[in-house]
Amino acid sequence: MCGDTKKDEVKKDEKQTSGNLADIATLTTLLEEHRAALSSEFKSAFSTLESRLDILHTTVNDHEHRLCSLEANADTSGLSVGALESKFAALTDEHAKLKAKVMDLEGRSRRNNIRIFGLPETIEGPRPTTFFSELLVEIFGASLFTSPPDLDRAHRALTAKPKSGERPRSVIIRFHKFQTKDLVICEARKLRGKLQYRGNPVFINEDYSPEVLEMRAEYRAVMKELYQLGLRPSLHFPSKLFITTSDGKKRRLSSVHEAGEFIKTHRRESTEAT
């Protein structure tokens, strides 16, 4: 019996050892497969990285080549960065002066012009110069014009014709004499808000270029406040603000900010005086 028991124990140990060896073999196989998979992934990742590094290297070389080319060209032309900056500043200054001259020339070419707003489209017919000359007499009456003024030309603003119901285009009129144009503008300012043509309210202003209109628009709010304070502001061409105080003195304000500060000071002094 003892002999049989020992044999059974030996068989059991052999079976257990065999099972352990099988497990080790399985684990070894799994480790090899995992190692092979990791090796493949690493190789793929390194290949991608090498490819990207090659692209980066090519880009850096290209930039280096361009920088060398720029430096070489700058050396051969004799222009350093400082010299280029100086030249740019000079060109900017020259551009500003030329722009001011062009604006002045355009302003002078419009000196004899006025714009009339609010006149219905197509009322002028085929002879606009004659029609608008007679229209001015009708608007201002015989007290200002004993006969239709001489006009060099008159036409609608050069924009697309508005559709039905839209605001009509303004009318641009060029007087033959500057004095006549000044007379019309002065009278229009006196009658601001009261001018009419056959029941339609009309407004007459000077004809300014878009740049000048933009500059003058900046003063619109402060001009309104100055009028409310009982002062007499006026904008001279292109956008120089002058104020006539209660004692008859004129003062020039060079910017919107300065005008705002003047209004604050005037209000404070008025409050203290009361």
Q: Which architecture characterizes domain 109-207 according to CATH?
A: 2-Layer Sandwich (3.30)
pLDDT per position as a tens digit, 156-203? 999 999 998 899 999 999 999 999 999 999 999 888 889 999 888 999
CA dist 36 and 38 (Å) reads: 6
For residue 26, pLDDT beyond 70: yes
Q: Per-residue confidence at 113, pLDDT binned at 50, 70, 90? A: very high
Contacts within 8 Å (CB) and 24+ apart, 196-202: 196/139, 197/118, 197/119, 197/135, 197/138, 197/139, 200/118, 200/119, 200/120, 201/118, 202/116, 202/117, 202/118, 202/119, 202/139
Nearest residue to 227 via CA among 239, 210, 216, 243: 243
- Which amino acid would we find at residue 55? I
For residue 22, pLDDT beyond 70: no
What CATH number matches the domain at 211-273, 3.30.250.20, 3.40.50.300, 3.10.20.30, 1.10.150.120? 3.30.250.20
pLDDT per position as a tens digit, 225-235? 888 888 888 88
More confidently predicted of 78 and 45 = 45
Quick one: average pLDDT of 251-272?
86
| CB distance 139 to 208 below 8 Å | no
Q: What percent of the chain has pLDDT over 90?
A: 36
For residue 129, pLDDT beyond 60: yes
Judging by DSSP bridges, how do beta strands 200-201 and 196-197 pair with one another? antiparallel
* pLDDT attached to residue 89: 92
Q: Per-residue confidence at 274, pLDDT binned at 50, 70, 90? A: low
Quick one: average pLDDT of 71-97?
79
Identical fold, 109-207 and 211-273: no
Residue with tokens 């692209």: 55
CA dist 225 and 71 (Å) reads: 58
Q: Where are the domains of the chain?
A: 109-207, 211-273
Judging by DSSP bridges, how do beta strands 203-206 and 240-244 pair with one another? unpaired
